[in-house]
Chains A and B, each alone.
Chain A
Amino acid sequence: MAQNSTSAVADRSAESEGLVVQKNLVKVEGLWKLYGENQSLATDAAGASITKQEALEKHRTVIALKDVSFSVDRAETFVVMGLSGSGKSTLVRCLIRLIEPTAGRILVENDDILQYDESQLVQFRRRKVAMVFQHFGLLPHRRVIENAGWGLEIQGISKEERYERTQTALDLVGLQGWEHAYPRELSGGMQQRVGLARALAQDPEIMLMDEPFSGLDPLIRRSMQGELVKLQRDLKKTIVFITHDLHEALRLGDRIAIMRDGQVVQIGTPEDIVLNPADEYVEEFTRDINREEVLTASSVMDKAEIVLLNSQTPKEALEILLSRSLDSGCVVNDKGECVGSVTVDEVARASKAGSTDLASAMNGSTKPVSKDTSFGQLIPLSLASDRPIPVVDDDGKLVGEVHREKLAAGLGSRNHINNVD
């Protein structure tokens, strides 16, 4: 009953939005997958509080997915991370119905794909979504170009168009020149490129990637991750990426969902996961993460305590700083763009010299940094600077400042750190 009414609400909101492009492309609601005797646990009230162990012993039922809900935005890379047995592979297979969930809803553009009949499902798989597999799943008796064109071939697309589109995909993943090789003649990394090209040739909105790089050796894995990031920058696909490797998750994910025993433990941005782990389980994972790489200026910046306009005179600035008993302040121009910062000493000196231009006072000013600047780059800048570093957004607008003490705290204990959205 409850489910019906929520779906009605969802439908109405979809209608009212009309042609507006939905932010959420994929929305998973209360997804369950059970194996075993008592399938009703998914819909029972009893199921909600049951543990994996209880379900196994009392009901002879394995809980693979327990009430999983999340949504994925358009063009987002959503990483699902968990150890083996956490249900992450089951989850991604449910999204394309290679495994049928026991209960729940999977909305893709507000369409519940679990309601699709056989032919709708085939169309969904052909047009909307494509998957990349850990074990590649290439056909050994077909050449690279025929493997990569598989999705197009079964749609009945003509050979010329198929080869053209496949070739574009192969070029994207750097396989030009290998079109007529057989999979067995390629290394693991290159075979996975074929798998990737096969998915890209389909030009899907959603890409599901089930541990695509887990079978590759570390060096190749790293370079493939880098290439995926680069590809994604241009293609802007909606990606659901499965991995057991937190480093990979942090590197690729816009947001990360951490799974354990079939449940989602935490969903958040990489910084969120590292700085505010939801429980000990997540904390354990994040322990050996190199924070310098994951954390950025935005996660430790404070609101700028004072904003000075560059049209003000050094004298006015001095008065403002002294009245607030501050050592320094950020300076913005009339468009709100940050141009630097000044210290009390600097404005006092400039004022004494009779200067009327505040900009000329900013002698020792540090250049503002982007909010995405990593700790690794921030640390030397901060050590060399005698004042907080201004932080700006992509448009150059001031969004905050980084204090040296906060930076040190971010590397160490996770207290005193901002919550990041």
Chain B
Amino acid sequence: MDYPLPTEKQGISFSQLQNSALFVFGLGAGVVAVIVFAAAAIWGSQMEFPIDAGRSVGARIDAVVDWTNINGDWLFSAIKIVVIKILITMEDALLWMPWPGLVVLVTLISLRLGGTFVAAFSFLGMMGMGLLGLWESAMETLALVFTAVTLSIGIALPVGVFAARNNRFDAVLRPILDGMQTMPSFVYLVPAIMFFSLGNVPAVMATIVYAVPPAIRLTNLGIRQVSPEIVEAARSFGTTPMQLLTKVQIPMAMPTIMAGINQTTMMALAMVVIASLVGAGGLGEDVNRALGRQEPGAAAIGGMSIVIMAIVIDRLTQGVVKKRQDALRGT
């Protein structure tokens, strides 16, 4: 049984407190207004800040990035090798199958997970991409996205689980994730090029930075949302923390985690065009090239292909989420 923490017994009534707080606020506002008007009268509206540190702070950050680039070379090389390996495997796998095979496979999966409408959409969308000559680009993009998503899951699961178990870590993590989602991607594209040089690898890394937060957030949320009654019952039978995690919390949180992965995939697709700026191939490159050549038609075809791909992947992962949710529907 949970008891509410005792609330403070207040010495003065609420209305008194409100009045005094209002008074202090009013006094403060008055003082600030006087200072502002006095300053404007003395220095005029052209007043400047005492120092301009922007340039030097920027230079410091440059120095840190340079240092990291030189001293972390072994690490970046290793990451690069791993990412390239995954990328090539994915791409080979996708291009190994002749296009009718993949079309039929995806259509069948769509039929099972999303119904006839989704299956028809998948079929027409994929045939469209193929007939427009974008098949190879699409597969390259898919490989890129899958690689980024796979690595994102690899990062998000442990980080999300740890955040769910440790409130302090969660508190530190939250603003970092906010930053990753709102920071303009160009900002980290530059160091990504410096660390991994041009090509698909910096594109994957930049995509991970942008796309991993929802997977972490929803893993955290999913595990925190597991019914405390079920956790308590499981613990009462002598469950170790690891058993609790693998046999209770993660299975129960699966729909939420899957929703996070769905979001991550969608965001990874949104990064495809931007990633082409650092040399990623695929549909992004097609769109980017069309932009340079001022061919709105080619750009539209490439863009539409990305949208179709996003919708198909979204419906399929949503289908998985729904299946899991049904399986977990409680009492």
Contact = CB atoms under 8 A, between A and B. Distances in A.
A140 interface: yes
A89 B1 contact: yes
A141 B251 CA distance: 8
A37 B5 CA distance: 9
Nearest to A91: B1
Nearest to A202: B237
Interface stretch (B14-22, B46-54, B140-148, B225-233): B225-233
A62 B3 CA distance: 7
A182 to B, nearest CB: 8
B5 A36 contact: yes
Contacts of B9: 57
A282 B234 CA distance: 35
Contacts of B68: none
Contact of A139 (B230, B235, B243): B230
B6 A137 contact: no
Nearest to B239: A154
B71 interface: no
Contacts of B8: 60
A131 B233 CA distance: 8
A61 interface: yes
A378 interface: no
Nearest to A156: B243
A32 interface: no
B5 A35 contact: yes
Interface string A302-326: 0000000000000000000000000
A237 to B, nearest CB: 16
B248 interface: yes
Contacts of A87: 1
A232 to B, nearest CB: 20
**Taking each of B237, B243, B252, which has the highest tally of chain A beta carbons within 10 Å of its own beta carbon?**
B237
A125 B1 contact: no
B329 A151 contact: no
Given A89-B1, A122-B240, A136 B331 contact: yes
Interface string A60-88: 11101000000000000000000011010
A130 B237 contact: yes
Interface in B294-331: 327-331
A124 interface: yes
Given A124-B238, A154-B238, A184-B329, A36 B233 contact: no
Nearest to B236: A131
Contacts of A139: 230, 234, 248, 251-252
B119 to A, nearest CB: 27
Given A35-B3, A154-B243, A191-B331, A137 B230 contact: yes
B331 A183 contact: yes
Contacts of A122: 238-240
Interface in A20-62: 35-36, 56-57, 60-62
Interface string A116-133: 000001111111001101
B238 A155 contact: yes
B247 interface: yes
Contacts of A247: none
A153 B4 CA distance: 36
Contacts of A64: 1, 3
**Taking each of B230, B232, B238, B327, which has the highest tally of chain A beta carbons within 10 Å of its own beta carbon?**
B238
B165 to A, nearest CB: 15
Interface in A261-309: none
A89 B232 CA distance: 13
A125 B331 contact: no
Contacts of B235: 98, 125
Nearest to B329: A184
Given A57-B9, A85-B1, A89-B1, A141 B252 contact: yes
B230 A138 contact: yes
Contacts of A208: 236
A311 B328 CA distance: 75
A89 B327 CA distance: 31
A391 interface: no
Given A62-B6, A131-B233, A133-B232, A123 B238 contact: yes
A135 interface: yes
A154 B331 contact: no
A163 interface: no
A19 B302 CA distance: 83
A131 B234 CA distance: 10
A273 B211 CA distance: 65
A241 interface: no
A173 interface: no
Contacts of A136: 229, 233, 331
A84 B1 CA distance: 9
A141 B327 contact: yes
23 contacts: A36-B6, A56-B6, A62-B4, A87-B1, A98-B232, A98-B236, A123-B238, A125-B236, A125-B238, A127-B238, A130-B236, A131-B233, A131-B237, A136-B331, A138-B331, A140-B252, A140-B330, A141-B327, A150-B237, A153-B247, A195-B233, A202-B237, A208-B236
Interface of B: 1, 3-6, 8-9, 227, 229-230, 232-240, 243, 247-248, 251-252, 327-331
Given A127-B238, A137-B233, 13 more contacts: A98-B236, A122-B240, A130-B237, A131-B236, A140-B327, A140-B328, A140-B331, A150-B234, A153-B247, A154-B239, A154-B247, A155-B238, A183-B331
The 5 closest A-B CB pairs, nearest first, are A137-B233, A125-B238, A126-B238, A151-B237, A131-B236
